[in-house]
């Protein structure tokens, strides 16, 4: 597993996992070398204590028990627990990193992680616990705890003791061979796995944001020059060009967008005040510029996540070609922490754009086209989308607050051994929350656009792209003329958006 597409197929599509023969060879050589090399040398995590207690030598007869002590003592997570897809992603990242043959672990540890994925056994891993410096120590300890046959897992929809599930499916707990406890825990795999999951949904949110933005431009019969190649190619940003091109593709068969030359560049136009709007509001006109920055950020984040996914983020690093063991800090999560802060900022930006577009549709003084709150019933008696706007606004506000960075919130700990930390897992967890919030806001926008389409009666003039998602939504949410309890419809719309297949 070396690229993001493989990551998606294993995490979400439950593709079976195996260890390639070349990886098996590298893993075995690394383990054999470290076992031999560690004799009569001081190797961190083999014959020393951990963290600030690395100054203490561990007697040979205690070295294996040391690994069990580390796993059990650090299984100290708290709060909510991660969902199945996040835990699958974390396991995949850990086994992929250890499969590089730079950690000196026994192959049985990696094979057992493959077995967890293939049997769809999900370890109980809590969200609170990692500071993202010596890796995701606490969260990965819960993974290691399951591998040694302890702790709890989710299997076939139930939370159960690991030992019971292992017995049921025929798995044997890992027996520590050398330093598997530290190697399993000493990496960035939870934050990286969650970052990969976040990217998966970020792509979906961006695509929906483009589709909804183009649909609103159709509804109000915008001029098409603001997403033209000529205008957008005048700037050098790839994302802007890509979004503008996507809008042109989506709107190619629309009968509602207009050419500026046909309306404002012909005739004499002697009015003092123009009846036709010369330019649309920024939330409609500046979509390529706004979402282009989002596009470029997501693309860069994906590159960083792929690099971390395929990195040896352990300590120490075992290098068989040079026959040496190198001590350092590859477990530090700065790369992922920074990217998650950037990602949640641009996802919040998507939410802000959607909220402003929603407001545009709901306010007749602005759009000069639709009834207040896109109300299809009796004004004053019915309320249309008035209630859901409060939810969209408050959720957007929460995203704005959550988008403050974790990257700059290092707190020294571990007796000041970890004197600067990344908080990468916290950053990824908050980004996950921001993404979930964004789906809620876009679900409200989607329902509102669909209501506007029905009120205007313009379905036949819309692009095939807009009609396709409108039809999909209408299978879940009917046209709302009378006031209805809205929260079930919001959940259905949100589920639809999250389940969509992404194609750029």
Active-site amino acid positions: 44
CA-based nearest residue to 86, from 497, 495, 424, 429: 429
Q: Contact 9/92 with Cβ under 8 angstroms?
A: no
**Residue 309: partners with Cβ closer than 8 Å, 6 or more residues away:** 1, 4, 7, 93, 96, 97, 192, 196
Please, what is the Cα angle at 439 between 438 and 445, to 5 degrees? Answer: 90
Beta-strand relationship, 78-81 and 126-128:
antiparallel
Query: What's the count of helices (H) and strands (E) in the chain, helices before strands?
Result: 20, 7
Q: Contact 18/91 with Cβ under 8 angstroms?
A: no
Write the DSSP assignment of 407-430 as a string of letters.
TT----BTTTTB-S---HHHHHHH
Tokens of 368: 């000069």
Rounded CA-CA distance 55/193 in Å is 32
CA-based nearest residue to 125, from 151, 99, 93: 151
Tokens of 187: 């990496």
Rounded CA-CA distance 257/264 in Å is 14
How distant is the alpha carbon of residue 20 from its chain centre?
A: 28
Sign of the CA dihedral running 210, 282, 298, 334: negative
Tokens of 457: 């009666």
Rounded CA-CA distance 168/345 in Å is 45
Radius of gyration over alpha carbons of the chain, in Å? 27
Hey, which residues does 159 pair with through a beta bridge? 154
Beta-strand relationship, 152-155 and 122-123:
antiparallel
Q: Which residue is associated with the tokens 């971390």? A: 308
CA-based nearest residue to 440, from 495, 478, 481, 485: 495
């Amino acid at each position: 597993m070396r690229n993001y597409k493989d990551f998606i197929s294993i995490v979400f599509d439950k593709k079976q996992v195996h260890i390639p023969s070349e990886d098996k060879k590298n893993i075995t050589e690394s383990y054999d070398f470290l076992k031999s090399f560690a004799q009569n040398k001081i190797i961190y995590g083999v014959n020393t204590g951990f963290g600030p207690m690395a100054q203490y030598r561990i007697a040979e007869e205690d070295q294996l028990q040391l690994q069990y002590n580390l796993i059990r003592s650090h299984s100290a997570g708290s709060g909510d627990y991660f969902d199945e897809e996040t835990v699958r992603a974390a396991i995949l990242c850990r086994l992929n990193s250890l499969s590089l043959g730079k950690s000196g672990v026994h192959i049985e540890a990696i094979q057992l992680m493959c077995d967890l994925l293939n049997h769809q056994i999900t370890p109980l891993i809590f969200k609170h616990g990692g500071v993202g410096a010596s890796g995701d120590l606490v969260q990965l300890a819960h993974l290691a705890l399951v591998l040694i046959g302890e702790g709890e897992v989710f299997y076939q929809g139930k939370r159960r003791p690991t030992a019971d599930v292992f017995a049921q499916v025929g798995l044997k707990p890992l027996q520590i061979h050398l330093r598997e406890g530290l190697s399993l825990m000493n990496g960035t795999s939870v934050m990286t796995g969650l970052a990969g999951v976040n990217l998966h949904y970020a792509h979906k949110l961006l695509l929906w944001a483009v589709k909804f933005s183009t649909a609103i431009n159709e509804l109000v019969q915008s001029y098409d020059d603001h997403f033209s190649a000529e205008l957008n190619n005048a700037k050098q940003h790839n994302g802007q060009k890509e979004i503008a091109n996507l809008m042109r593709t989506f709107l190619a068969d629309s009968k509602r967008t207009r050419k500026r030359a046909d309306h404002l560049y012909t005739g004499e136009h002697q009015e003092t005040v123009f009846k036709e709007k010369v330019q649309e509001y920024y939330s409609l006109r500046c979509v390529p510029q706004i979402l282009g920055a989002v596009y470029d950020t997501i693309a860069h984040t994906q590159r960083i996540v792929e690099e971390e996914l395929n990195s040896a983020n352990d300590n120490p690093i075992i290098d068989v070609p040079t026959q040496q063991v190198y001590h350092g800090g590859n477990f530090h999560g700065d790369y992922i922490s920074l990217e998650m802060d950037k990602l949640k900022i641009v996802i919040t930006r998507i939410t802000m754009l959607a909220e402003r577009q929603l407001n545009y549709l709901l306010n007749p003084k602005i759009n000069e086209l639709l009834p207040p709150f896109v109300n299809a019933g009796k004004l004053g008696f019915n309320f249309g989308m008035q209630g859901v706007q409060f939810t969209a606004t408050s959720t957007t506000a929460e995203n704005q607050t959550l988008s403050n960075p974790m990257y700059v919130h290092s707190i020294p700990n571990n007796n000041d051994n970890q004197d600067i930390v990344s908080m990468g897992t916290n950053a990824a967890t908050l980004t996950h929350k921001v993404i979930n919030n964004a789906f809620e806001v876009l679900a409200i926008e989607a329902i509102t656009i669909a209501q506007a389409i029905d009120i205007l009666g313009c379905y036949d003039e819309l692009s095939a792209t807009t009609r396709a998602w409108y039809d999909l939504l209408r299978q879940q949410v009917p046209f709302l003329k009378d006031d209805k309890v809205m929260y079930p419809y919001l959940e259905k719309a949100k589920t639809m958006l999250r389940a969509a297949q992404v194609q750029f």
